Structure 1
Amino acid sequence: MKGIIFTEFMDLVEAKFGLDVLDSILVEAEDEGVYTSVGSYDHRSLVKLIVLLSQKTGISPEDLQQVFGQSVFLNLYAALPNNASLGECKNSFQFVRLVEDYIHIEVKKLYAEANPPKFEFISESESEMVFDYKSARCMSHVCLGLVQGCADHFGETLEIKMDEQSTDHSHVRFFLTLVS
């Protein structure tokens, strides 16, 4: 997993819960908290930090992942290369499709070891999109938050439903409906 995800997570924890909470979960996880945005790290370290934060705050790991995904969207969006395809995106559905059709491909070109999630599109219209999220990292609630952050960015309201296709959260079907 790219380091930018770790650095963004730690920034969010510090902003929302304070430096003491961040330091506490890092100590408990035996994690030095030293990440570079372009480095690659084991996703299990992030999962461990999320679980510890959940224990400290009483907020479920799924809710923490969702909030993280939603809050990090704009920073990840701003980090994308200036590309005509990105500039042509006018709505959330176009952007979600571009994540699979362009962004994940470019990430793999830049970082051979990268293993981004896979989106498999089932159906799509102007008001509805159905796609499967597949990832060995099992962080579908981060994806949920990212989709919500995307909708916020484009000034849209989406009704989002998730249907677990596997017990370990590695395969989840997303149903997106444009409300406004």
Structure 2
Amino acid sequence: MDKVTLQRIEKLHPYVREEVKQIIKECDKALTGRAKIRITQGWRSFEEQEKLYAIGRITSGKKVTNAKAGQSIHNYGFAVDMCLIIDGKTASWDTAKDWDNDGIADWYECVKIFAKHGWDWGGNWKTFKDLPHFEKKEIKTKKGAVKATWRNLAKMAKNNDGYVIF
């Protein structure tokens, strides 16, 4: 696991940090070839979210999100975006390439590992597919399970660090 990925994991909600580290370790172990996983985005501020939402609407470019500030799971630290780092230096978002020649695209090896841990893949969405995106589907608390939607998370109290409290 590279330094950049570790730094981004440390900004996620404390509830998922160790789980994401475990997922990355499992992905890197499964990817026996030239590719390793890198987290390109984790927690995102409301300000960053508004800037992304403006792309293709207020500023030039192709739309990259339908989520306004507060409407992204990234804003609560329960989502990550990823890429593959090839040979330790080149970023790839190629979902079809099989860098380790095991007959399964490396990207889909990671998709399966995230799913095993209860994470939803943006590539499975019916509209606005987001191939680099993964988000936690459910949060288990002492009071029961909470569906990890931005609507649910936005209503919850936050601690001094800005993370939702369960």
Q: What is the TM-score normalised by the length of structure 2?
A: 0.30
Higher helix share: 1
Q: What is the TM-score normalised by the length of structure 1?
A: 0.28
